Structure 1
């Protein structure tokens, strides 16, 4: 009996969950939707060039959008930047393991960085209004040696961040559809590269706004779905049972 129970437990531990979506659906979303969003953003960039005169061939427009990004686009960009795959998967994991307190403390650990960086951004804007990047400010404040050190640190940080985002999203897509992780890793950035290359930073801000809108709808849907699911003993079930 004990041996049979042990083998059953081992089989359950090594069981593979079948993907819920076909690979074709994953390729359609990764490639098709990615290209559609890229084409939309490229089209918006062309329209803005004709109507408002925003020429992305100029360095100032490509890198800073002529410093015309308003509060709405900026706030949506901050939200979209923090809703990367690693953060969403990590918060979901701690929520699954520890309940509502998990995502709360996960967000509590990330929030101070956003608050402090907003203060830093305001100070930099007031003191160095013509700067384009953080590295320019570092060079002015700390000289060439500090500038080189920060270039290396920023490069390492960006490599790690991009790797986390791509691998996290690719792993999630692979788990849901069975799509190969390497294929997802190489196909996911194509659409982003296209609209960023054509539209510059303004296109990324517009895309962030769209991402935030879509993600908000998805989060609201899954939040309501979680509370009305029988398996987690929702308040509706508890009320009916009492």
Structure 2
């Protein structure tokens, strides 16, 4: 349900951003005609800052990717690899939707490396600090789900207990 709501939020944010981009492109072309130079791919209008829909799109993509990794991993844990394959086959559309959003976000926020960078640049340090908590929680959930699925696969291959495999995997990652 969260992933479906994130997908709807993405579509709304994309349509709003398309309308805003057309308006900004007209203003940018007027500035270029008058002799003002701008970097390619960025909108350097005075007082221009990212809209709420752009920020919401970036936040939603974070949680959408969380759902994309968690749901097939849970299906693989419960039903084997066939379950994850069929669920992942239905989730192909974000693979085509999110890369253009990532390229566009990278063009607008050249100095940021994560989703938290645009939040800090747009809304300040307090919003940045508050946004760290859900991002950290979703990262921990995804890491634990991926570790449990890897432990289940390793236990099926080696014939050991999944809890022992869950301890072996990080240990081998640190040692090797």
Calculate the TM-score normalised by the size of structure 1.
0.37
Calculate the TM-score normalised by the size of structure 2.
0.48
Choose between structure 1 and 2 for higher RCO, CA contacts under 8 A separated by at least 6 residues.
1
